[in-house]
Amino acid sequence: GTGPVLDALSRLVRGAPPARLPGPRDAAALLARGKELIGERLADPDLTPDHVAAVLGVSRRYLYAVFAADVGPVAKYIRALRLERARDLLTSAGAGDRPVADVAVECGLPDPAHFSRLFRRSYGASPAAYRRSAGGLPAWNPQVQAGAPLSPGRQPTARFRSAPRSRADGPPA
């Protein structure tokens, strides 16, 4: 064989349509492979959209376009999965004696301060406070509590936010 570059040039010169490049060009298949890859490598702190695109053999831009149509930006998807896994680990049975830093590392977020900021932003409490308030129970979800069905393939995501206190409220009780 002459190689893929020469084959492509030959087809171009002859006016033939370009051959379909090998790889996951089907958006649904790419999305499924991307989600699977992210799930498998979630604990890897080097897991980035660029890494996912490189492993799948597509451009970062194409990967973002495929993910945006279904789940939103790739980086946000990775972060959300990491935080959901952390939440699950923090609230699982027997998790009370496990250091929060170990949970963070297992979820691909080795910087404890960064992990804590992200967790607090998503769940409204520090990881340790969330664990204490959850008491080892699954996270509360208003959709589940209200009986609303979740979309297929989605896991519940809790968001705990307290109302902002004014200075007139005084210190917390």
Span 43-53, pLDDT tens digits = 999 999 999 99
State how far the Cα of 130 lies from the Cα of 97, in Å rounded to an integer: 14
Is the pLDDT at 14 greater than 60? The verdict is yes
Structure tokens at 25: 């060009």
| Residue 147 CB contacts under 8 Å (≥ 6 apart), including other chains | none
What's the pLDDT at 98? 84
Q: Is 22 left (phi over 0), alpha (psi -120 to 50) or beta?
A: beta
What's the pLDDT at 21? 44
- Over range 87-99, report the average pLDDT: 84
For the CA atoms of 125, 161, 49, 74, what is the dihedral angle to 10 degrees? 150
- Over range 113-127, report the average pLDDT: 96
Ordered by where they begin, the domains of the chain are: 21-138 (1.10.10.60)
What's the pLDDT at 8? 60
State how far the Cα of 110 lies from the Cα of 45, in Å rounded to an integer: 7
Mean confidence (pLDDT) of the chain? 77
More confident of the two residues 166 and 32: 32
Is the pLDDT at 28 greater than 80? The verdict is yes
Residue showing tokens 């171009």: 12
- Over range 163-168, report the average pLDDT: 46
What's the pLDDT at 92? 85
> Of all residues in the chain, what percent are helix, strand and coil, respectively (each to 5)?
55, 0, 45
What's the pLDDT at 77? 97
State how far the Cα of 164 lies from the Cα of 166, in Å rounded to an integer: 7
pTM: 0.64
Q: Are 127 and 116 in contact (CB under 8 A)?
A: yes
More confident of the two residues 20 and 135: 135
Is the pLDDT at 155 greater than 90? The verdict is no
Structure tokens at 104: 């963070």
Interior angle at CA 160, CA 159 and CA 165, nearest 5: 135
Q: Are 66 and 31 in contact (CB under 8 A)?
A: yes
Tell me which residue of 163, 164, 155, 158 sits closest to 133, measured CA to CA.
158
What's the pLDDT at 25? 53
